[in-house]
A and B are shown apart, each in its own frame.
Chain A
Amino acid sequence: MARDRNRGVHPRVPELQRQLADGHIDRRSFLRTTTLLGVSAAAAYAMAGVPAPAWADGMNMPFPKDDPKARMGGILKVGMQVQKMEDPATYSWVEMSNQTRHIIEYLAMTGPDNITRPMLAESWEASDDLKTWTFHLRKGVLWHNGDEFVADHVVWNVERWLDPALASSNVGLSTFSAMREDSGKKDDKGKPIMVGRKGAVEAVDKHTVRFNLSKPVLSVAEDCYNYPTAILHPSFKAPLNDNPIGTGPFTLAELKPKDRCILKRVTKTTDGKDFTYWGGKVYLDEIHYYNFDEDNQLTAFASGDIDAIYEFGIEQYELAKALEGNIIAARTAQTLCCRMRVSEKPFDNKKLRQAFITACDNSVYRDLVFQGGGDIGENHHVAPVHPEYYALAPLKRDVAKAKQLLAEAGYPNGVSVTIDVGNTDGPWHQTVCEIMRDQVKDAGIDLKINVIPPSKYWEIWDKTPFGATAWTHRPLGTMVLSLGYRQGVPWNESAYDNPEFDKALDVAESIFDVEKRRAQMAKVEKILQDDAVMVQPVWRPVFTIAGKKVHGYPPHPTQYHQFNKVWIG
């Protein structure tokens, strides 16, 4: 078995093993990166010389181990925004994907520990140059209509995502953007139309799929668990709720957007045969989602209507503590970027930006806002939970220096700036800005806080000269830097434009070796930090709560629901 499992191991894995032994990388990074490169989690744990934890079992399953105490049956009632169920490839909210996460499944699955394991794929390998990725699909996976899951289905899905007419956000992921090419045609605005490259994805045999990428990509497995990448049956026609065919243990029984979404176990295929789920035991009979806005989920939990909720904010922490239930906290790379748009006055003045940042003390937000939870942000948008995080020297607040910088910037008598705050993740955004206001005041900067409703903030988030924007968690540090700080990318809200940074990031993204990549990240992080684009005060934890009778409810950094091994008792 062991030999079998190591057959597809990436040549660099032994090197990683050496690094682990020498103490160059920690166990966490080793596990992450090796699983990423196709080593099964169990094998990785074995190589790391640690006992496999509960979820890494011999069957190469992405789920936690069966709990011997678990009881079969029961209904899990979850408070969440219930939305429509159109086309999974164009989902725009995590809630939408949670509704279908137990119906349709993914090639890979990132667990609560931020480790990505094989799901519909049994394993994968990457070429040395990280440009060719081969996925070995799991055998014996059945669709709800009785069809067998095969390689052609994956090819059909990926090609569908690449079709510009579908407008799936998946093409923004590095993996799938590296499968596209310029069609030679231009749209009305003169922008080139990008289409899928021929042969970018191919079925090698019935159970093997190969991705041929145009550039090295490290995050292929992670990208295959991004929420719009669920694998659909080729008979799919939107909306999904009309004919929900998946491979998962549940199917849709009732959907009423803004009201409820009821999932029931699949026992028979639609052509009348017995349905056996590939993923082993699943305890719950039904999963019910009831529509509650984020603000009201915890109070609904308190009233006993529901067993678990999507999320509650830090401002509700005291209330949650007083309730009968288990608070479940996940450490994440979710954050708030108080970013300055470097193309707008007065923020085009680098000295001014530096003055602002020097006047802030990032170390206090964690305690003041999250009661000690979360991590300190360092203004370069790479989080300690990212494997390639390089710890730069801690930022120091220096009011005198800030004043001096401000004078050099041309504001010897102080300056007044306004920050737009949308509280899109809850009122803690505003709390952060209020603390910031008190800090920068000492340096002669008068910070005005312009609070606007969340929906209005999303209309201006990428235009306002100074705004506090929430960024979600991504498994790798390079992923978010590519999305938000490369010159000209759509989500570059700060209008940051530094070729040196782009080049450094290119290099980092092509280095497989975590140790070397981390050294390169030091450079990347430093450039971004020195350019003083943002105050990024804190990495926030996310909280949810589940009733005492709910067992095995996993804390996920992106609130993805993984209820296969949850049981009620």
Chain B
Amino acid sequence: MNTNDTALPARKTLIQHLQAPRVLIFLLLVMWLPLTAYVMFGELLGPHKDMILIPAIPATALLYAIAVYSWRESWVSVLGVTLVFFWLFMAVTAPFLPLMDPNKPLAPFTLPGVEKRDHLFLLGADFKGRDILSRAIWGCQRVIVWGVTATLVAYVVGSAFGLLAGYLSGWWDEAISFLANVLLSFPVMVLFILILNYLGPSGFNIIIAVTFASAPAIMRIVRGLTLDIKQRDYVFAAQTRGEHPIYIMVVELLPNVRGPVIVDACLRLGYTTVAITTLTFLGLGLQPPDPDWGLMIKESAKTAMLFKFSYMLIVPALSVSTLILGFNLMADGLREMSLRD
């Protein structure tokens, strides 16, 4: 991927050491697990739950540095990565920033830049008098965690079925492909509405809904790639060694389909973020009181339909747009780079 690799420098620099897959995965986990635990199971963590996020902060910073370094040739990716990591950084540092409690009602309808009740509302206050800056920043936590987790689960499920269908063929393929076709014939939003209305609105149910909506498409991609790769020598080698099909699928096939899948994943992260925001706006997604962008839009859409108060709508709208822009630019840059190689 990197031209430096071909130059074979005498000693790898520190940042090149860090580019090793194992280190990356370790850093990702250190960033991700605490954040997920914090958002999904914050209630169970007790009074010191903020502490859990401390290791995630350096991990996030380090990952950002590595990403910028690796993708420095494509300014599009760097811009994308910067946007995404801006929000990631906000997500992991939110409890340590000098922010108002995002759920504390202070001074309703305070305009941006006005000081009221000893608090400067940089981005104003909403209809309940909660600080919008604080809500926008805290809001990214939920959107990012649920969005990424949902995409991840969809990938695990989609890839598993894709591998099964592609590798085993036969009636496995028939059955899985039919199921996928049924699901794919629904417009996505229709599927979301039906599933969430049945299961009831919550973060975990969003994961299920996103999985139902996204996994079939992922399964198709993975299935196609698997059909292609399964003819390769190393798969035959493994088969003649007598390895279990599951071993072959996970160890031999999976790592080799990852390339195109990663670009797709970046795009899909964007879609999922849109979906979560939209669903929450429609009242089918995450539930109040904790802040998130879709909810901020939903609440402001009926209280702030006036030019004077439009900051209440603009702030969450721009927040979600920048995050999705980040994901899409990242995907664009990655695709550009993969084409160049």
Contacts and interface: CB of A to CB of B under 8 A. Distances in A.
A302 interface: yes
A316 B305 CA distance: 10
B105 A318 contact: no
Nearest to B202: A452
B306 interface: yes
Contact of A322 (B105, B288, B301, B306): B306
Given A430-B288, A452-B287, A318 B303 contact: yes
A318 B289 contact: no
Interface in B287-301: 287-289, 299, 301
Contact of B308 (A295, A322, A430, A453): A322
Interface in A393-452: 423, 427, 430-431, 434-435, 448-449, 451-452
B289 A295 contact: no
A279 B162 CA distance: 74
Interface string B196-214: 0000110000000000000
Contacts of A434: 103, 105, 289
What interface size band does chain B fall in?
A: 20 to 34
B283 interface: yes
A448 B303 CA distance: 26
Interface in A465-505: none
A434 B289 CA distance: 9
Q: Which of B43, B127, B302, B308 has the most CB of A within 10 A?
A: B302
Contact of A318 (B283, B287, B299, B309): B309
Contacts of B201: 453
A299 B283 contact: no
Interface string A295-313: 1101100100000000000
A299 B306 CA distance: 9
A146 B68 CA distance: 85
A315 B128 contact: yes
B301 to A, nearest CB: 8
B109 to A, nearest CB: 4
Contacts of A253: none
Contact of B108 (A299, A302, A318, A323): A318
Interface string B92-103: 000000000001
A206 to B, nearest CB: 52
Given A315-B128, A319-B305, A427 B108 contact: no
Interface of A: 295-296, 298-299, 302, 315-316, 318-319, 322-323, 368, 423, 427, 430-431, 434-435, 448-449, 451-453, 456
Given A315-B299, A318-B109, A453-B201, 12 more contacts: A298-B305, A302-B305, A315-B302, A316-B303, A322-B308, A323-B306, A368-B105, A427-B128, A434-B103, A434-B289, A449-B289, A451-B289
24 contacts: A295-B301, A296-B302, A298-B305, A299-B302, A315-B127, A316-B302, A318-B109, A318-B127, A319-B303, A319-B305, A319-B306, A322-B308, A323-B306, A427-B128, A427-B288, A430-B288, A430-B289, A431-B128, A435-B105, A449-B289, A452-B287, A453-B200, A453-B283, A456-B200
